[in-house]
Structure 1
Amino acid sequence: MTKILLSLHVLAAIVAVGPVTVAASMFPPAVRRAALTSAGTAALLHRICRVYAGVGLAVPLLGFATAAAMGVLGSGWLVTSIALTAAAAGVLAAFVLPRQEEILDQLRGERAPDHRATVQLALFTGAFNLLWATVTVLMVVRPGSTTGA
């Protein structure tokens, strides 16, 4: 059962978190181009971020189930990963998605988005991506793990 849960957890991370990471990273440059063309691409990228953020909720749920099955819920690497995952989710929910919506509203109102807002969004997106990259490394390396990596 552990192998099935672990496989589902990894698949969910790849399928759900990957698109959010890529789409969120593509959003700021797309907005800068949209000021010259249209908001269609930026709107699509925002939709991808929103939908896959919801699907991404499966990642920590499957992760908890996997950790419980493996008996590693109290491991330091896992507790750190959980905290970083929560931080990444918080950055996405509190900073990335709302700023994307604000910028899209500006584009839909046929106003050029504030350059500072797109730079700030890129910063928050970078923080989100860095948090996820760190979680990924912790999941692979598992410092102090007794499960063999």
Structure 2
Amino acid sequence: MTKFLLSVHVLAAILAIGPVTVAAGAFPASTRRALAAPGGEREVAVLRGLHRTCRVYAAVGIAVPVFGLATANSLGVLGDAWLITSIALTALAAAVLVLLVLPRQAALLDDVVASRRPRWPPSRLAMHTGLFNLLWTTVTVLMVVRPGSTTGA
């Protein structure tokens, strides 16, 4: 059962977090292009698609910690420092995504559609997206390295 849970956890991370990471990373540059060409239907459609991808896969991404906790329980490592750190960083990454990235994407999309000056510069969104990506990268490294692990890694 542990191997099944771990497989689902890893697949969920790849299939859910990967698209959010890519779409969120592409959003600021696409916003700058849309602001440079006001009224462009293609640019607005790209922004809508990127934002929808982020929202949908963020919701699907809930499976990652769910299966991660089930895997950790199965392995008996729920009290390990590396896992507790990973859980805290995952919660922080989720907060950055839900409280900063997604609302700012929505606001920038509204501003582009209304052809008005953006409330926040796309560079600020890029910074929040970079923070989100850095947090997930750190969690991934912790999952692979697992300090104190008996696997010899």
Percent identity between the two aligned chains:
63
- Determine the C-alpha separation between the residues in 2 that align with 1:126 and 1:30: 15
Q: What is the TM-score of this pair, normalised by structure 1?
A: 0.95
DSSP 3-state at the match of 2:121 = helix
**CA distance in 2 between partners of 1:52 and 1:24 (Å):** 11
Gap runs ≥5 in structure 2: none
Aligned length: 148
For structure 1, the residue ranges without an aligned partner over 5 or more in a row are none
Within the candidate set 106, 125, 137, 1:101 is matched to: 106
Aligned to 1:127: 131
Equivalents in 1 of 2:20, 2:77: separation in Å? 28
CA distance in 1, matches of 2:18, 2:127: 18
How many angstroms apart in 2 are the aligned matches of 1:109 and 1:90? 28
Q: Distance in 1 between matches of 2:87 and 2:151?
A: 18
1-structure distance, mates of 2:89, 2:12: 17
Aligned residue for 1:43?
48
- Counterpart AA for 1:34: A
Partner of 2:115: 110
Which deviates the most, 104-113 or 24-33?
Answer: 104-113
The TM-score normalised by the length of structure 2 is 0.93
CA-based RMSD:
1.1
